[in-house]
């Protein structure tokens, strides 16, 4: 269950903050953010090596950021099915029937929009100023239709735990090390001391067995920290370390 946090404060020197936590089967191969797409020169993001796309893309020139989360609902047919990882790279949304359900966030320093496709209808809305949390149940966890009962419980508890903590203090990331730039939020996005099996946890880990035909470990694989100004972007990234090892942050842009 991926999570994306958006803070939009138009009057701030850094009006948009976007933080993305990617959850995936940990054996699925990927590589660290870079300019991996020749047809999208300058666009930076981690690349999913199974389908070729990304979960979060940053364009430092615009500047802009786009990210996608899986949604719940009927999946696309096999005929013409496309990877949701193409959506942050600018794939058109006119015909979403070829995609499995998703939630797509696109932001510039001037505003943020989210599209949600549940396999039936495509909704779109501009985000108002303030703090927003996007999960696999959509904006602020309101799309419970088709969601498994356990997912509903976990997402509700995650929102209840993290929303007041995120709202308590907003960073304004300038130059300098990650620990300084993101000081108010960094403890939250590195786990906040919660076990990864905790139903409230933002960084998660689950083990699956026979239902997938073999033993699989699913969990949080990376954290992306993005701050948008009208004249630039700050993009910091870390893979999620195993257990309680130290986060190793890379300043991508």
User: Which of 141-148's residues contact partners 24+ apart within 8 Å by CB, and which partners?
Assistant: 143/71, 143/72, 143/116, 143/118, 145/72, 145/73, 145/118, 146/72, 146/73, 146/74, 146/101, 146/118, 146/119, 147/72, 148/72
Q: How confident is the model at residue 1 (pLDDT cuts 50, 70, 90)?
A: low
Residue with tokens 């130290």: 246
Q: What does pLDDT average to over the chain? A: 94
Say what the pLDDT of residue 214 is. Answer: 57
Q: Percent of the chain beyond pLDDT 70?
A: 97
Say what the pLDDT of residue 141 is. Answer: 86
Domains of the chain: total: 1
Give the DSSP letter of residue 105: E
Give the 3-state secondary structure of residue 64: strand
The parent domain of residue 156 ranges over 3-251
Say what the pLDDT of residue 125 is. Answer: 96
Say what the pLDDT of residue 14 is. Answer: 97
Say what the pLDDT of residue 213 is. Answer: 54
Q: Percent of the chain beyond pLDDT 90?
A: 85
Say what the pLDDT of residue 77 is. Answer: 82
CATH code of 77's domain: 3.60.60.10
CB within 8 Å of 116: residues ≥ 6 apart = 71, 102, 103, 104, 122, 123, 124, 138, 139, 143
Tens of pLDDT, residues 55-95: 999 999 999 999 999 999 999 987 889 999 999 999 999 88
Tens of pLDDT, residues 128-183: 999 999 999 999 988 888 888 988 899 999 999 999 999 999 999 999 999 999 99
Global pTM value = 0.95
Tens of pLDDT, residues 201-223: 999 998 876 555 556 888 999 99
């Amino acid at each position: 269950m991926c999570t994306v946090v958006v803070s939009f404060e138009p009057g701030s020197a850094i009006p948009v903050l976007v933080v993305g936590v990617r959850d995936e089967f940990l054996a699925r191969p990927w590589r660290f953010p870079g300019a991996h797409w020749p047809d999208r020169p300058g666009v930076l993001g981690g690349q999913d090596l199974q389908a070729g796309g990304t979960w979060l893309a940053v364009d430092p020139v615009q500047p802009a950021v786009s990210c996608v989360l899986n949604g719940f609902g009927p999946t696309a047919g096999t005929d013409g099915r496309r990877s949701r990882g193409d959506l942050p790279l600018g794939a058109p949304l006119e015909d979403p029937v070829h995609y499995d359900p998703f939630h797509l966030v696109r932001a510039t320093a001037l505003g943020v929009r989210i599209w949600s496709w549940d396999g039936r209808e495509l909704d779109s809305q501009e985000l108002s100023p303030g703090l927003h949390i996007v999960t696999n149940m959509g904006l602020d966890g309101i799309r419970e239709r088709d969601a498994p009962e356990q997912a509903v419980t976990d997402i509700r508890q995650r929102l209840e735990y993290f929303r007041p903590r995120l709202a308590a203090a907003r960073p304004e990331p300038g130059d300098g090390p990650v620990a300084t730039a993101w000081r108010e939020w960094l403890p939250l996005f590195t786990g906040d001391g919660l076990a990864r099996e905790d139903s409230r946890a933002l960084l998660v880990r689950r083990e699956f067995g026979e239902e997938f035909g073999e033993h699989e470990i699913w969990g949080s694989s990376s954290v992306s920290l993005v701050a948008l100004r009208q004249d630039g972007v700050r993009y910091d990234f870390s893979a999620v370390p195993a257990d309680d090892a130290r986060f190793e942050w890379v300043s991508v842009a």
